[in-house]
């Protein structure tokens, strides 16, 4: 299944037909549109939007494709309603900061909006930060043990990707 918002939605409407195959090519590009060459030492994580850039709160969920201002049903609740969230950042020395906030637990933890997530990363020392994931898949384990309370009624959810820090 393909889904798009903004320019991607326009392209899909013009080119995709129900029941027909469509070829998709993936390319990583920098902000100038140049293709980024990756090698075996590179890793990519799907994360958005940016929360903190150069020490300042810098959220543009629409530009990063996580919110469509013309169709607020896409991403509005995810962006602007408190949710469980996992964030990653770097401090001014380049050290990694990983943080998780629980949510959907009235009276215990309501979660964060994207704005609240950004504001929480700055006191931790983040000069760069982004939102990794949210909702029921938000989980953090430390030394092999779950360190937070997940929000799904059935408990910890199986996920297809993780960020792992190993020695």
Q: Of the candidates 164, 100, 82, which has an alpha carbon nearest to the alpha carbon of residue 137?
A: 100
Tens digit of each residue's pLDDT, the chain (167 residues)? 777 777 778 888 998 988 888 887 888 888 888 999 999 888 777 789 999 999 999 999 888 878 888 877 777 778 889 999 999 999 999 999 999 999 999 998 999 999 999 999 999 999 999 999 788 889 999 999 999 999 988 888 888 778 888 88
Is omega for the bond preceding 29 within 30 degrees of 0, making it cis?
no
Burial 104-134 (b: 16+ CB within 10 A, else e): beeeebbbbbbebbbebbbeeebbbbbbbbb
Write out 68-82 in H/E/C secondary structure.
Answer: CCCCCCCCHHHHHCC
Give the CA radius of gyration of the chain: 18
Instruction: State how far Cα 30 lies from the chain centre.
Output: 18
pTM of the predicted structure, to 2 decimals: 0.77
The size of the chain, in residues, is 167
């Amino acid at each position: 299944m393909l889904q798009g918002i903004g320019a991607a939605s326009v392209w899909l409407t013009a080119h995709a037909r129900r029941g027909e195959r469509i070829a998709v090519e993936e390319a990583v590009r920098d902000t100038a549109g140049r293709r980024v060459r990756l090698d075996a030492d590179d890793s990519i994580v799907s994360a958005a939007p940016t929360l903190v850039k150069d020490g300042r709160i810098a959220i543009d969920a629409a530009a990063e494709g996580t919110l469509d201002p013309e169709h607020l049903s896409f991403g509005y609740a995810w962006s602007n309603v408190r949710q469980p969230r996992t964030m990653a950042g770097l401090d001014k020395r380049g050290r990694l900061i990983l943080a998780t906030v629980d949510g959907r637990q009235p009276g215990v933890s309501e979660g964060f909006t994207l704005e609240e997530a950004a504001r929480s990363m700055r006191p931790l020392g983040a000069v760069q930060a982004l939102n990794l994931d949210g909702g029921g898949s938000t989980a953090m384990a430390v030394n092999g043990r779950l360190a937070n309370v997940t929000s799904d009624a059935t408990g910890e959810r199986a996920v297809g990707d993780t960020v792992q820090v190993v020695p």
